[in-house]
Amino acid sequence: MTDVFPVCGYRRRPYFLFSGILGTVSTAIVAITIGLPVSSAVLCLVGISTAVAIADVTIDACIAKNSIYKPALAPDMQSLCAFSSSLGALVGYATSGMFVHHLGAQGALGVMAIPPATVVFLGFFIYELKARQHNVKEKVLNKVSGAVKGMVRTIRYPVVWKPSLYMFLSLALSISTHEGQFYWYTNKTPPNPGFSQEFVGLVHAIGAVASMLGVLVYHKCLEDYPFRSILFYAQLLYGVSGLLDLTFVLRWNLALGVPDAAFVTLEECVSRVVGRVRLMPMMVLSTKLCPPGMEGTFFALLMCIDSLGTLAAKAGGAAVLRALRVTRTDFGRLWLAVLLRNVLRLATLGVIGLVPTADQTDVLVPRELLVSSSSPAGVADEEEEERLQLAMLTSHTDDV
């Protein structure tokens, strides 16, 4: 099998360059153009999201490949990436308000072009081994065909489709009520909290710090637990922690003598820590399901499945809020939506049997896939060429 997205060997540069250029151009258009039509603005936002997704799946594919060859390091690599992601979120939350205040909305959008521009910089300066260019069109077609056949073959194995189904259900059943809760947070009509948007941004920044703490908790304490055990308790805590939202919406925190600001900060920290601890094993599990030779392609497929789960959760949450007639000004039944969300989170435990009982350092890919993709002639030739070029690079470095 071969990878239609061969991003783990010596062809990462084009993906980083394309991602960076697409993100920079899309962001610059939104920032510079005044009175941009809605259709064009939506297209630019899609371009920004696409650029982020390309860079993200490029890195994740490399992690998936390294997780196959160094399975004991899979949890550590995911912890490092998650910590970096949370750190980036913290920087974004902490500086966004300042940029909007000093530069205005358009200026703040212009600052958003800096991160994708740095990806372009990385694309130019990252070391790449030279790839042979003969029969490029035929090679690409063969890779696409092989990747599609490989994905169909791989997803048929129960050890692959069962955990994939669990991850989809876990995300889809956790319906999103954030839109209704945000309007409730910022509504100044008593007894609503009436938070300012600046305070909500501050709470999210504190939540990013809590997310980093969740990564550290997973890295230091939970990497050695089997997949099923850690996902069971993480999902259980995820459902129970949602009761904090219910307590806040029903205003029971005031009866307990806890101010709104303190309680919402506590709730955000707890939900971020638990959410990160729940997400980390699923990311490690995803990397473990990718067969050698098509890590990027299959990991992208798994991320598409997860994205569909997230989309289903948002659509389901919107449908529930609409059915309960929760609007920007009427929050009388918001607590029912939060309660239903918590029940669905706990209901996910009913399908925990889909998750394997293997340890997080075990190899989950079926032996047949490992054997069938271990020594294709073309891959062997490319690996030999890569070794020769690395040897030449090492020799040159030693001479210097």
Radius of gyration for the alpha carbons in the chain, expressed in angstroms and rounded? 23
How many degrees, rounded to 5, is the angle at CA 195 between CA 191 and CA 199? 160
pLDDT at 305 over 80: yes
State residue 138's pLDDT score: 57
| ω into 75 cis (within 30 of 0) | no
pLDDT greater at residue 256 or residue 300: 256
Q: Write down the pLDDT at residue 13.
A: 73
Query: Can you give the pLDDT at residue 141?
Result: 60
- The alpha carbon of residue 113 and the mean position of all alpha carbons in its chain are separated, in whole angstroms, by 21
Tokens 């997310």 — which residue? 211
pLDDT at 226: 92
Mean per-residue pLDDT, 31-57: 86
Q: Which of 284, 272, 279, 286 is nearest to 212 (CA)?
A: 272
Query: What pLDDT is stored for residue 239 in this prediction?
Result: 93
Which pLDDT value is given to residue 271?
92
- What pLDDT is recorded for position 252? 94
What confidence tens digit (pLDDT) does each residue in 247-278 have? 999 999 999 999 999 999 999 999 999 999 99
User: Which residue's entry shows tokens 């999201």?
Assistant: 49
Mean pLDDT of 290-299: 76
Comparing 25-34, 131-140, 169-178, 182-191, which segment has the lowest mean pLDDT?
Answer: 131-140
CB 215 within 8 A of CB 280: yes
Percentage of the chain modeled with pLDDT above 70? 83
Tokens describing residue 133:
């260019």
What HEC string does 176-214 produce? CCHHHHHHHHHCCCCCCCCCCHHHHHHHHHHHHHHHHHH
> pLDDT band for position 373 (50/70/90)?
low
- What integer pLDDT is reported at residue 356 of this predicted model? 92
pLDDT at residue 139, as a whole number = 59
Task: Check pLDDT > 50 for residue 394.
Answer: no
Q: For residue 64, is pLDDT > 90?
A: no
User: Do the beta carbons of residue 283 and residue 67 sit within 8 Å?
Assistant: no
Question: Please, are residues 317 and 179 in contact by the beta-carbon 8 Å criterion?
Answer: yes
Return the structure tokens found at 170: 């876990």
On the question of pLDDT at 299 being above 50, the answer is: yes
Alpha carbons 218 and 83: distance in angstroms, whole number:
11
Please say if the pLDDT value at position 132 is more than 60: no
Residue 208: half-sphere exposure toward Cβ, Cα within 13 Å: 17
198/185 Cα distance (integer angstroms): 12
Burial class (CB in 10 A: 0-12, 13-18, 19+), 34: exposed
Of the segments 32-36, 198-202, 223-227, which one has the largest average pLDDT value?
223-227
Higher pLDDT: 267 or 294? It is 267
What's the rounded mean pLDDT across residues 73-91?
82
Mean residue pLDDT across the chain: 80
Q: What SS3 state is found at 331?
A: coil
What is the model's pLDDT at position 63? 78
Sorting pLDDT into bands at 50, 70 and 90, what band is 84?
A: confident
Q: Which is more confidently placed, 378 or 202?
A: 202
Mean pLDDT within 154-158: 86
Closest CA to 111 of 24, 214, 192: 24
Longest CA span, the chain:
75
Structure-token match 């709104």, residue found: 260
* Residues 26-41 pLDDT 10s: 988 988 888 888 888 8
pTM of the model: 0.76
Q: What is the pLDDT of residues 351-369, one digit of tens each?
A: 999 999 988 888 787 777 7
Give the pLDDT confidence score for residue 135 in this predicted structure. Answer: 54
Asked if residue 115 lies in contact with residue 56, where contact means CB atoms within 8 angstroms, the answer is: no
Contacts of 80 (CB under 8 A, 6+ apart): none
